[in-house]
Each structure stands twice: as structure tokens, then as C-alpha cells.
Amino acid sequence: MSLVELLVFLLTSAGLTAGVVGSSLLEPIRSAIFARSNFLKELLSCPMCTGLWVGAFLSVYFDVNFIVAGLMSSVFSWIVYSFVDMTNAISFYYEALVEEEEQE
């Protein structure tokens, strides 16, 4: 697997994981699954858990060992998701500071 293929694999798996875990498009499907199973609710709410399975499924297309692909996808998806959450938290914090200053 070349470096470009690795980057494509990681970005694809992170994108699919973000789509499954947090997209509004799949919200009705997730809600139906969450109502039926607490196990699947925990699995689909966690980007690291979902990333493992997304990577394992993508390993078929990219012709990589499914365990290695799942682990790489899991860790990379968790890093990307954590970075996005961190930037959201920072932006909400600064937005609250600006609103607080405007009220004074």
C-alpha cells in the first residue's frame, strides 16, 4: 500500500465514520437502531468503535489485512473526531466570550 493509498484509506474511513456516527442524514436510522439495542447504541455513538468496523469493511476494497485496517481506521477516526470536537468547543467558548462582552 502506497502512501497515497494509505491517506485515501484513512480519509475515507474517517469520513464514513463521521457520517455514521454524527450525520443528520442518518439520524432516523440511528434513532431506530438506538431504540432497539443498547449495545448498538454504544457501538454507533463511539467514533473509535465504529471506525474499527468501517476500516474492516473498507479493507476488502483496499486489499489490506482487516485487523490492521480496522485498527488504523479506528485510531485515525478517533483522532479526527476528537480534533473536530475540540475545535467546536473552542469556537463555542470564544463565541460565548464575545456575546458576554457585547452584553456589557
Quote the pLDDT of residue 55. Answer: 92
> What are the phi and psi torsion angles at 68 (to 5°)?
-65, -45
d(Cα 78, Cα 22) in Å, to the nearest integer?
13
User: The pTM is what?
Assistant: 0.77
pLDDT in tens, 30-81: 899 999 989 988 888 888 999 999 999 999 988 889 899 999 999 999 999 8
User: Where in the chain are the domains?
Assistant: 3-103
Residue 92 clears pLDDT 90, i.e. is over it: yes
Decide: 69 and 75 in contact? Cβ < 8 Å.
Answer: no
Among 88, 72, 92, 61, which Cα is nearest to 14's? 72
Distance of alpha carbon 33 from the chain centroid: 18
